[in-house]
Every structure is written in C-alpha cells, then in structure tokens.
Copies of this chain bind each other. A is one copy, B any other.
Amino acid sequence: MKVSVLRIGHRLVRDDRVTTHAALVARAFGADRIYMTGIDESVSNTVSSVAKRWGGEFEVHVIEDWKALVRAWKKEGGRVAHLTMYGVNVDDVIEKLRKENRVLVIIGAEKVPREAYDLADYNIAIGNQPHSEIAALAIFLDRMFKGKQLKKELKGGRLKIVPAEKGKQVLESK
C-alpha cells in the first residue's frame, strides 16, 4: 500500500513553515511523496535537503493544477482521502483504506475549496475539533501504518540518530 500526500491552498510566505512541517511529516511517517502547489522554492529545497541527509526515497513534486492531479489519480484506480474536521471519524474507515493499493491524502490550509470534498472518495476527520493539518496528517499516517513507520530505518542517509536518554547522539557517515 502506497500513500502520497497533496498539499493545497498554500499561501506564500505566511504558510511556508507550516507547509515545510507537513512535507517533513509526510516523509517521516511513511508517505512516498508530496505534491505541493504555489510554494516558494525554499520549501522544497528544505525538504529535499533533509531527505538527502537523513535517507529514504521521498519525492517532492511542485504542480500547477491539483484538480487535474486528483482526477488522473482516480482514473488510474487510486483512492483519494481528504482530511477535514467535518468528515467521518478516521477509526471508522481506516481498515477499508489499508486495503487499497494507492491512496492520495489531501490536506488543505485554512480555507479548502468545495471541490476537495466532492472529488474525495473519503472525507476523514481526525477528531471533529479544529487543530492542525500537520497533526491530522501525522495521525492519519500513524493509523495507516499502525505506528510501524516510527521504527523503520531509512536507507542512504548520511546522518543517523542513536536514541538516547539525555542529549544528542548522531552517527555520521563521511
């Protein structure tokens, strides 16, 4: 089962840090790529440089037309899950989603256009309280992969942490 992420509604500068967090979460929690619209180059550079240093095969794609991407995704047999506080509880649908081959997770910024709700096969709530699309994405991926992604080793990185009770221990390959 492969999960990709689509970030929509990014507002230049204002959302740079939040979008960077979302992309890093997508990578660390087991998604294979993120699609982003309207971002500043610094966002994709930061994410690519993290991926290079810390390993794995995460991809960053900057796209123009997110609706075209979603339609193509569905046409090829993939499923679309939109994370929204207005949707149905994640625990009620996650088992069904785990059986899919390819899932595209849509996360929005403050205002999400109506089309996202309509195009999605699933509108999924990570609780019905307002919080954060970064948190929603993390919990969704954690549920999808049953928490196993947190212990997975990502290959090919230069840096690797040795878990420690105090301070920082990092292995560096030169």
Contact = CB atoms under 8 A, between A and B. Distances in A.
Number of copies: 2
A166 B117 CA distance: 6
A64 B110 CA distance: 30
Interface in A129-149: 129-132, 134-135, 137-139, 142, 147, 149
A29 B138 contact: no
Contacts of A165: 87-88, 122-123
B132 A21 contact: yes
Interface string A146-165: 01011100100000110111
Interface SS of chain A: mixed
A126 interface: yes
Nearest to A125: B163
Nearest to A137: B135
Contacts of A126: 150
Nearest to A132: B21
Interface residues of A, number: 54
A29 to B, nearest CB: 7
Nearest to A138: B135
Contact of A87 (B142, B154, B163): B163
A70 interface: no
Nearest to A110: B17
A80 interface: no
A81 to B, nearest CB: 12
Given A24-B130, A88-B163, A90-B150, 18 more contacts: A18-B18, A21-B134, A25-B131, A50-B130, A54-B129, A54-B130, A86-B164, A87-B163, A87-B165, A88-B164, A89-B151, A91-B150, A117-B167, A131-B138, A132-B134, A134-B134, A135-B137, A135-B138
